[in-house]
Structure 1
Amino acid sequence: MIKGFKEFILRGNVIDLAVAVVIGAAFTGIVNVLVTAFINPLIGLVFQTGDLETAFVVNVPTLLGGVSVFSFGAVIAAVINFLAVATVVYFVFVMPMNHWKKRQEARAGAATGAAADPVPTEQELLVQIRDLLAAQPGAGTSRTTPPTP
């Protein structure tokens, strides 16, 4: 049981996922502050509110005499926050990692010679054999009688 758990934990995908979660959480804090302290007030200026969280607030009276508050600005702020986090994670982690992996694969391919000509398919080989046989002298003559010994 311990051996199986150890193999599961040491598998590359699990460790990559754990690192991604930790780094994503750390960057989420940074991006949240950026959105809350800079982007929301900037958008709030356009809509003449203190920030986006207080923009587009709709108060709807209820049947019992109370008020329901719909904060559409808060929803828009959450969407902007999510897009900002996703953009930062993509451009800071995903794109450079994909570029790095492609370079590593290219180096590995050059070292092993895998970048050479691809192996031809069976049909391509048969076509080449047919063409070589047709190019031989006397290949155009057909024999109707077997050769004599």
Structure 2
Amino acid sequence: MSEKKDPSVWQGFKAFLMRGNVVDLAVAVVVGAAFSNIVNSVVKGVINPVVGAIGTKNLDHYSSCLSATCKGDQGIQILWGSVLGAALSFVITAAVVYFLMVLPMARFLARQEDRKKAREGTHEVIEVTELEVLKEIRDALVAQRGSGPGGR
């Protein structure tokens, strides 16, 4: 009985892997990992030097001390510079994804939808016109029968 379950489990697993959603998700994860390197480079190469013009180049050095003395590892430090760096990375990533991926795709899909509606709209006009022509032919035939020798 377990012999029957193994192939069906294996076939189910194969079907799961071959679904488009799983493949799309895998591609998104790989591209996202590669993309994070680009964002990290932008933060380190552009954002940190701009912040460094004001203070230090490394955002991790920005912190606040909650205890009376903070020397080295002693004391309670809040590393708000690290949080700021992570937030900047997130905002940059979100902006690039939106402006380079989401917005162009939305515009492309809107154009595709407009083209589809335009094609459907022309098709409906043709159908309505054909229907009107058929009604006119019917009316003409009815009128012709009524005015003919058998209709009087």
Does TM, scored on the shorter chain, surpass 0.5?
yes
What is the CA distance between 1:31 and its match in structure 2? 0.7
What is the CA distance between 1:7 and its match in structure 2? 2.4
Unmatched segments (≥5 aa) in structure 1 = 118-149
Unmatched segments (≥5 aa) in structure 2 = 1-8, 125-152
Task: Let me know the Cα RMSD of the aligned residues.
Answer: 2.7
Question: How high is the sequence identity, in percent, across the aligned residues?
Answer: 41
Structure 1 equivalent of residue 76 of structure 2: 68
Does residue 53 (structure 1) correspond to residue 60 (structure 2)? The answer is yes
- State the number of aligned residues: 112
Structure 2 CA distance for aligned equivalents of residues 11 and 110 of structure 1: 33
2:107 to 96, 99, 102: 99
In proportion to residue count, which structure has more helix? Answer: 2
What is the CA distance between 1:72 and its match in structure 2? 0.9
Structure 1 CA distance for aligned equivalents of residues 94 and 56 of structure 2: 26
Equivalent residues in 2 for 1:112-127, closer than 5 Å: 113=120
Equivalent residues in 2 for 1:1-149, closer than 5 Å: 1-46=9-54, 48-55=55-62, 57-61=63-67, 66-108=74-116, 113=120
* Preserved CA contact (<8 Å) 1:41 1:52: no
SS at match of 2:56: coil
Structure 2 CA distance for aligned equivalents of residues 105 and 11 of structure 1: 26
TM-score (norm 1): 0.61
In proportion to residue count, which structure has more strand? Answer: 1
Q: Name the aligned partner's letter for residue 52 of structure 1.
A: L
Structure 2 CA distance for aligned equivalents of residues 15 and 43 of structure 1: 40
Flag the 1:9–1:114 CA change in 2: closer, same or farther, 3 A.
farther
Flag the 1:115–1:53 CA change in 2: closer, same or farther, 3 A.
farther
RCO comparison, higher one (Cα < 8 Å, 6+): 1
What is the CA distance between 1:13 and its match in structure 2? 2.0
Q: Name the aligned partner's letter for residue 26 of structure 1.
A: A
Structure 1 CA distance for aligned equivalents of residues 86 and 113 of structure 2: 38
